[in-house]
Amino acid sequence: MQKGIRRLGVFFIALTLLLVVNLSYLQVWGQKGLLENPANTRRLVEEYGIARGRIITSDGLVLAESVPAPGPFAYLRRYHQGALFSHVLGYDSPQFGRTGLEESYNDQLLGRKPPRSWVEEMTSDVREGNDIYLTLDAEVQSAAAKYLGSRKGAVVAMNPKTGAVLAMYSWPTFDPQALVTQDKDADGTPLADKAMRSYSQDTGSPLLNRAAAGLYTPGSVFKVVTGSAGLEAGLPASTVFDCPGVWEVGGSRVTNYGSPPRSFGRIDMETALTHSVNTYFAQLAVKMGAPALVKCAEAFGLNSVPPLDLPGVSASRIPPAGKMDAVLLAWSGVGQGEVLLTPLQLCLVGCAVANGGRIMVPHLLKEVRKGEAILDRYDASVWRTPISADTAAEMLKMMVSVVEEGTGTQAAISGVTVAGKTGTAEVEGKPPHAWFLGVAPAENPTVVVAVVVENSGGGGGSVAAPIAREVIRAALR
Amino acid sequence: MSPRWKEALLLAVILPLSFLGWVSLDLSTGGTLVAGHVVYPLLWTGFFLLAHLVLRILRPQADPLLLPLAAALTCVGLIVLLRLNAHMARLQLVWLGVGIAAMLLLVALLRDYRSLDNYRYTLAVLGLVLLLSTVFFGREVNGARLWLILGPLRFQPSELAKILLAVFFAAYLAERKELIAAAGKVVAGVHLPRPRDLGPLLTMWALSLLLLIFQRDLGSSLLFFGIFLAVIYVATGRATFVVAGLLLFLAGATLTFFLFGHVRVRVETWLDPLNPETVNDESYQIAQSLFAFAEGGLSGTGLARGSPGLIPFVETDFIYAAVGEELGLLGATALALLYLALCGRGLRLAMRCPDDFGKPLAVGLTAVLGLQSFIIMAGVTRLMPLTGITLPFVSYGGSSLVSNFLLLGLLLCVSEGGGELAEGD
């Protein structure tokens, strides 16, 4: 019998070994797969058990906070400003996950960052997150929403010296509260599901943040880039071209605005920018060559994703120099052809001009706070330096002329020197997009505004410039 | 050092752990100590000190490791229960007292365990009646007919029946082992038992199937059959019984797989617990259990920092998943090793036991603990299909706790030898 008992003991040891090997698989090697399984709601229950921090504008308006809720999730988000800040805030929904700042600053809002001391970590659970304060200014944002109104488009306003985003608005918009609610209708269908379905199926794409992700043909606002590229390539502002109403290149025709297309004769760059003369900038682009134009455009940030602290930012596009023939180059020089810009990228171009050639890293976060204590602060830093200080000053001077006597007079504000550039981008088969890029005050710029109104039917000077004017006014108050 | 002093030394190490558990749990729950919770470690310590003192008088030579090991297991169980459900922890504390009292009473009354040999058929009949009672009078709870309900008392008869049947197996096989082992032909080096000696095996097989079919109690079915195989193997030294038994069991299980939906569901959820079609339905429980283990990782989330509440029946069958989540791989492994130590101790005292009844009895009782703990630990970790039984000494449940302490009492009796008669030898 002794032998049998001993063997039974070996059997028990083997069973225990099996158990421990399997446990090690579950808890160590195979852990990741189980944690990431979509059916695993542990993280959700845990995360919605924490009173998430508030999101507050730089002028103290509370945009989002967490309130106790019935049901499996102890806390749910409440958004106080309806659809006004929705594309920046995003949403924090147990069903649909997180987007916007709710996603990019999730760790801060849940109190996981900045890290706590190990004594606190050992003895107390995180029950409350940290508040995040934004660079956004509620008044500037409200002005953007009010003057864009119910027109498809977007507005971005930034402080060029710091990279702080003052306003970022996109229309059509959505109500983040509708996606977060856990209420159900009479049939038991969650209201949030219905809202998500209707937003997703809406042809106006209300969930799209046009300001950072919308790619549009820029039209004449791109002349700021083409002009800067010329200056950088050694073609001074005094460079003169003969500018007829129609300029033929490689069998294609670049035409000026007006019917019939207006002829300007021999003019320099300032006159050309002031009156947005296509035939000047087409010739300028062809003269400097595709490599110079593309190099400068990429230095401004095209073909790369701007490092804004928001998910879902798109890279603006310009075709590689090798793929540009004379026709495409000429059209690219006036912002047509295959060039595509986001309003954010245009704003960054304006920032370089307004800030002595340097683009600061664009950001929405100002600081992370717990109560009164400031735990973390966003430090301004340079993203890139696409143009020299001289080029920037030269370009700014020409843009002042645009608002004073050219196509952008509607952006003028009495007592403030506003610089700007209009754009009316032709799109095939649809009314043109209206653009405006504004900088103020020109002597010492503190605000840059980019506005696009999709398929507006009007020109940049009449449709987009007045919106930029009101946003600048709000920012300079 | 005498056995009782060894026991005292081990208890001196283990008993403070309960206070540590209480402090750790309270600090991580609310950040402050709840004075009222001190009742749990205090009473628990009191119970085991009392048991130790009584053993000093009644069984000075009994095995010194059994009581400390049971103390360690119940300590983990009590603290985890207190974290999961304070009401259940209170009741568990009461049942702990009842269980230890029952154990001491058994130790006091049963001066010589060999006297059980005389009541083998009485015990067997009692065990069978208990088991089958639920078929006729049982109440179905959570898909299995395991409960007898007498007024306010709920009682799970299979917990007690497993001990009674272990005693019967030991008594029956101790007497017949030579007969069963010696007779029969040798064919191609394999010793074949006589057909008539297969009788007990076939009877047990039938009983297991009966449990499986009428009570939907897969866990007990497997457990009873496993105990029987362990005892018959040790008693006869014939591996052919084990092989034949396993083949029979597999055949029976296959049969029920095709005949009964609930068996099929168990197997399917075992093979593919994370199937999106069943993960929120049939396999919800096992999937949540696996998620809990994964959440725990190496060192666990810490007491009260996980979400074991997501697993249905986490306080009973699935308490091992709560241990895995909050105490991690380290805690779960430690618990598994405690069971292994308990089994090792049980087998050691079986080897040292001088008489032919005590040996298989100790083996049977040890097999109850070893197999039951393995079946449920392997079930909740998907090592084998899930079958609902309790984790001995840790799961919430009065019948389970009291039965396991009775089992411990029997092992203590066997470890000391035959009481007064043995002394007279």
A411 within 8 A of A465, measured Cβ to Cβ: yes
Neighboring chain B residues of A35 at a CB cutoff of 8 Å: 291, 294-295
Higher-scoring residue by pLDDT: B388, B76:
B76
Q: Out of B292, B337, B363, whose CB is closest to A8? A: B363
The whole-angstrom distance between A48's CA and the closest CA on chain B is 12
Q: Dump pLDDT digits (tens) for B190-231.
A: 666 666 666 776 777 787 777 767 777 778 888 888 998 999
The whole-angstrom distance between A36's CA and the closest CA on chain B is 9
Q: How confident is the model at residue A471 (pLDDT cuts 50, 70, 90)?
A: very high
**The residue to which tokens 């924090």 are assigned:** A92
Q: How confident is the model at residue A114 (pLDDT cuts 50, 70, 90)?
A: confident
B69 within 8 A of B84, measured Cβ to Cβ: no
**pLDDT over threshold 60, residue B421:** no
**pLDDT over threshold 80, residue A260:** yes
Q: Regarding beta strands A55-56 and A131-134, do their DSSP bridges make them parallel or antiparallel, or are they unpaired?
A: parallel
A251-260, A458-467, B173-182, B206-215, range with greatest mean pLDDT = A458-467
Mean local confidence (pLDDT), A422-443: 95
Measured between alpha carbons, how far is A6 from A8 in angstroms, rounded to an integer?
5
**pLDDT over threshold 50, residue B419:** no
Burial class, B136, CB count within 10 angstroms (exposed 0-12 / middle 13-18 / buried 19+): exposed
- The number of domains in chain A is 1
Largest CA distance in chain B: 72
Q: Regarding beta strands A373-377 and A359-360, do their DSSP bridges make them parallel or antiparallel, or are they unpaired?
A: unpaired
Q: Is B137 helix (H, G, I), strand (E, B) or coil?
A: helix
DSSP state string for A196-247: HHHHHH-TT-TTS-HHHH--B--GGGGHHHHHHHHHHTT--TT--EEE-SEE
Q: How confident is the model at residue B418 (pLDDT cuts 50, 70, 90)?
A: very low
The whole-angstrom distance between B309's CA and the closest CA on chain A is 10
Measured between alpha carbons, how far is B195 from B193 in angstroms, rounded to an integer?
6
Neighboring chain A residues of B237 at a CB cutoff of 8 Å: 1, 3-4
Q: Which of B4, B169, B104, B72 is closest to B413 using CA atoms?
A: B104
Q: Dump pLDDT digits (tens) for A368-420.
A: 999 889 999 999 999 999 999 999 999 999 999 999 999 999 999 999 999 99
Domain CATH number, residue A394? 3.40.710.10
Chain-chain contact of A34 with B280 (C-beta, under 8 angstroms): no
Report if residue A202 sits inside a domain.
Answer: no
**The residue to which tokens 């004075």 are assigned:** B35
Question: What is the set of active-site residues of A?
Answer: 220
The whole-angstrom distance between B313's CA and the closest CA on chain A is 17
Report if residue A193 sits inside a domain.
Answer: no
Q: Out of B295, B297, B367, whose CB is closest to A28? A: B297
ipTM: 0.93
Q: Regarding beta strands A131-134 and A365-370, do their DSSP bridges make them parallel or antiparallel, or are they unpaired?
A: antiparallel
**Over pLDDT 90: what percentage of chain B?**
51
Q: Which residues of A touch B (CB under 8 A)?
A: 1-9, 12-13, 15-16, 18-20, 22-24, 26-28, 30-31, 34-35, 37-42, 45-46, 123-125
**Over pLDDT 70: what percentage of chain A?**
99
**pLDDT over threshold 90, residue B240:** no
Number of helices (H), then strands (E), in chain A: 19, 19
Report if residue A444 sits inside a domain.
Answer: yes
Burial class, A121, CB count within 10 angstroms (exposed 0-12 / middle 13-18 / buried 19+): exposed
- As given in the structure block, the two tokens for residue B76 are 């983990």
Question: Which pLDDT does position B183 carry in this prediction?
Answer: 64
Question: Which pLDDT does position B191 carry in this prediction?
Answer: 65
- As given in the structure block, the two tokens for residue A213 are 């992700």
Neighboring chain A residues of B337 at a CB cutoff of 8 Å: 16
Report if residue A44 sits inside a domain.
Answer: no
Mutation to test the B interface, candidates A16, A34, A44, most B Cβ within 10 Å: A16
Report if residue A260 sits inside a domain.
Answer: yes
User: Is the backbone peptide bond immediately before A260 cis, with ω within 30 degrees of 0?
Assistant: yes
Report if residue A353 sits inside a domain.
Answer: yes
Mean local confidence (pLDDT), B266-284: 88
Q: Dump pLDDT digits (tens) for B297-327.
A: 999 998 988 889 889 889 989 999 999 999 9
Report if residue A219 sits inside a domain.
Answer: yes
Neighboring chain A residues of B382 at a CB cutoff of 8 Å: 22, 26
Largest CA distance in chain A: 115
Among A5-9, A77-81, B188-192, the least confident range: B188-192
Measured between alpha carbons, how far is A189 from A137 in angstroms, rounded to an integer?
37
Q: Which of A174, A182, A198 is closest to A94 using CA atoms?
A: A182
**pLDDT over threshold 90, residue B179:** no
Assign 3-class secondary structure to B228-287.
Answer: HHHHHHHHHCCHHHHHHHHHHHHHHHHHHHHHCHHHHHHHHHHHCCCCCCCCCCCCHHHH
Beta bridge partner(s), residue A242: A266
**The residue to which tokens 């079958």 are assigned:** B387
Report if residue A449 sits inside a domain.
Answer: yes
